[in-house]
């Protein structure tokens, strides 16, 4: 049965009006319910972060440790931290050793980064790996042995310059801090162990050695650990280390990419991947503000002009790790004008020579 054009027009118009009216009703309901609820959640999140945040230390305190920012420093400035000896320049001397720190001082590098972990009897020692196997003739696991079992292990036997640093032992945190303060060196205390006991250890350390407030930065990959340290003592200057895929993979290097998966179980692995994505998104938006960070330690493969610009706009110093080739050092020092961590002090004099 055919309908006249007028009837077809009537039904078409009715459908258009009904669709418009239905869409408008749905939109108004969304505006009345979902949008206000969303705004309430946003405001609630803002309030929670604001009231839970730890304010950063004063710029004067940060500058006492780091000196002037290389981006704005002049030749007249008393101190500018240009190079940090990563693990005490571990390619030049046995890493994380008192001998390495002394060598750095003699070579004119007074900014030292070292790693801290706990022994079985809760002695904080300066060492990077879980086991001593990479650096010694032993395969003892740090967390499974007491300090008495580890104190006499020679960590120089596999080093290229072992003849210069014969019989070098693992130092304690106390021994390291005492030596570095006595020699006037500044330090980055990098906590490798996620044990919450380090919160009290760091607090007690700063209580015993008040000079650390103007000489030391406490760092970790773990934002929760840094938050607890700063919450208990907001005067402590802290940094957070970041690299791509830190939760899901044990390493990342260009051009190889991610290293070995931390978990072989598929759902655990994907959960860790999700944590990496969440951490990468939250770090420059919420985490840095919540923690009151003063420094961000970025893996060298994640450093570029945009990253440096954005972090400086947030009031943080950017430092790159671990930078060992002359070309990379010169790019970071001369072009991006940031501090870097390095395993070797070879060629430092020419790296920081101004371009003609």
What confidence score (pLDDT) does residue 356 get?
A: 42
Instruction: Answer yes or no: is 11 within a domain.
Output: no
Instruction: Answer yes or no: is 98 within a domain.
Output: yes
CA angle 149, 155, 161 (to 5 degrees): 165
Instruction: Answer yes or no: is 101 within a domain.
Output: yes
What confidence score (pLDDT) does residue 12 get?
A: 66
- Domain of residue 130, residue span: 57-351
What confidence score (pLDDT) does residue 155 get?
A: 97
CA–CA separation, 265 and 277 (whole Å): 19
Instruction: Answer yes or no: is 6 within a domain.
Output: no
Instruction: Answer yes or no: is 282 within a domain.
Output: yes
Instruction: Answer yes or no: is 36 within a domain.
Output: no
Give how many domains the chain has, as a whole number. Answer: 1
CB atoms closer than 10 angstroms to residue 269 = 16
What confidence score (pLDDT) does residue 5 get?
A: 64
pTM, entire model: 0.89
Instruction: Answer yes or no: is 172 within a domain.
Output: yes
CB atoms closer than 10 angstroms to residue 300 = 21
CATH number, domain at 322?
3.20.20.190
Contacts of 282 (CB under 8 A, 6+ apart): none
| pLDDT tens, per residue, the chain with 356 residues | 555 666 666 666 677 777 777 777 777 776 666 656 667 777 888 888 899 999 999 999 999 999 999 999 887 778 999 999 999 999 999 999 999 999 999 999 999 999 999 999 999 999 999 999 999 999 999 999 999 999 999 999 999 999 999 899 999 999 999 999 999 999 999 999 999 999 999 999 999 999 999 999 999 999 999 999 999 999 999 999 999 999 999 998 888 889 999 999 999 999 999 999 999 999 999 999 999 999 999 999 999 999 999 999 999 999 999 999 999 999 999 999 999 999 999 988 788 765 44
What confidence score (pLDDT) does residue 283 get?
A: 96
User: H/E/C letters for each residue in the chain?
Assistant: CCCCHHHHHHHHHHHHHHHHHHHHHHHHHHHHCHHHHHHHHHHHHHHHHHHHCCCCCCHHHHHHHHECCCCCCCCCCCCECCEEEECCCCCCCCCCCHHHHHHHHHCCCCEEEEEEEECCCCCEEECCCCECCCCCCCCCEHHHCCHHHHCCCCCCCCCCCCCCCCCCCCCEHHHHHHHHHHCCCEEEEEECCCCCHHHHHHHHHHHHCHHHHHCEEEEECCHHHHHHHHHHCCCCCEEEEECCCCCCECCEECCCEECCECCCCHHHHHHHHHHHHHHHHHHHHHHHHHHCCCEEEEEHHHCCHHHHHHHHHCCCEEEEECCCCHHHHHHHHHHHCCEEEECCCCCHHHHCCCCC
What confidence score (pLDDT) does residue 254 get?
A: 83
Instruction: Answer yes or no: is 2 within a domain.
Output: no
């Amino acid at each position: 049965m055919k309908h006249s054009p007028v009837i077809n027009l009537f039904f078409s118009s009715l459908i258009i009006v009904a669709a418009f009216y239905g869409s408008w009703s749905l939109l108004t309901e969304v505006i009345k319910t979902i949008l206000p609820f969303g705004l309430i959640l946003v405001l609630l999140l803002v309030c929670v972060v604001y009231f839970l945040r730890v304010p950063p230390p004063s710029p004067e305190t940060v500058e006492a440790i780091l000196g002037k920012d290389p981006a704005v420093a002049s030749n007249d400035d008393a101190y500018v931290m240009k190079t940090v000896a990563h693990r005490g320049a571990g390619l030049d001397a046995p890493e994380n050793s008192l001998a390495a720190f002394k060598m750095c001082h003699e070579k004119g590098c007074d900014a030292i980064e070292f790693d801290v972990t706990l022994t079985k009897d809760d002695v904080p020692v300066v060492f990077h790996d879980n086991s001593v196997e990479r650096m010694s003739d032993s395969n003892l696991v740090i967390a499974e042995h007491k300090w008495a079992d580890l104190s006499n292990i020679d960590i120089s036997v596999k080093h290229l310059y072992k003849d210069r640093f014969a019989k070098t032992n693992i130092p304690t945190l106390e021994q390291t801090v005492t030596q570095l303060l006595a020699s006037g060196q500044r330090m980055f205390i990098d906590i490798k162990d996620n044990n919450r006991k380090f919160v009290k250890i760091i607090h007690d350390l700063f209580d015993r050695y008040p000079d650390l407030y103007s000489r030391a930065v406490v760092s970790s990959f773990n934002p929760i650990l840094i938050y607890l340290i700063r919450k208990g003592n907001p005067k402590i200057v802290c940094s957070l280390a970041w690299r791509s895929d830190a939760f899901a993979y044990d390493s990342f290097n260009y051009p190889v990419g991610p290293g070995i998966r931390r978990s072989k179980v598929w759902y655990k692995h994907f959960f860790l991947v999700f944590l990496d994505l969440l951490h990468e998104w939250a770090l420059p938006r919420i985490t840095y503000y919540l923690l009151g960070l003063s420094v961000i330690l970025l893996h060298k493969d994640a450093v570029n002009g945009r990253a440096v610009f954005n972090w400086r706009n947030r009031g943080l110093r950017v430092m790159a790790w671990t930078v060992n080739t002359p070309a990379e050092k010169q790019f970071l020092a001369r072009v991006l004008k940031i501090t870097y961590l390095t395993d070797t002090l070879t060629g430092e004099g020419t790296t920081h020579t101004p371009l003609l």
